[in-house]
Amino acid sequence: PQHKCGNQKSCPQNYFAFKIISGAANVVGPSICFEDLVLMSSVKNNIGRGLNIALVNGTTGHLLKTDAFDMYSG
């Protein structure tokens, strides 16, 4: 069976499914999936070097904001 975000099992009722994949240098970019919707990825061109963060409303599950913080350059 298919589970949200490609996870190995389904989440319990009243829980959100998510998957965060770290990048590999500058070969494979990071990605963030939430409830079977990719929020950030190299395909969406909204990731950057450093910390990639997606802010999601914890009650509704709606995406509020995405951003990347470059920890190398300060």
Q: How many domains does the chain have?
A: 1
- Dist CA 19 CA 36 (whole Å): 9
* pLDDT, tens digit, 9 for 90 and up, residues 3-55: 999 999 999 999 999 999 998 767 788 999 999 999 999 999 999 888 899 99
Q: Position 11: which residue type? A: C
Give residues with Cβ within 8 angstroms of 71, minimum separation 6.
Answer: 50, 51
In this structure, the strands spanning 31-34 and 18-21 are antiparallel
Domain that holds residue 42: 4-70
The DSSP bridge partners found for residue 33 are: 19, 38
pTM, full prediction: 0.85
Name the token pair of 45.
Answer: 């061109």
Q: What pLDDT, on a 0 to 100 scale, did the predictor assign at position 50?
A: 85
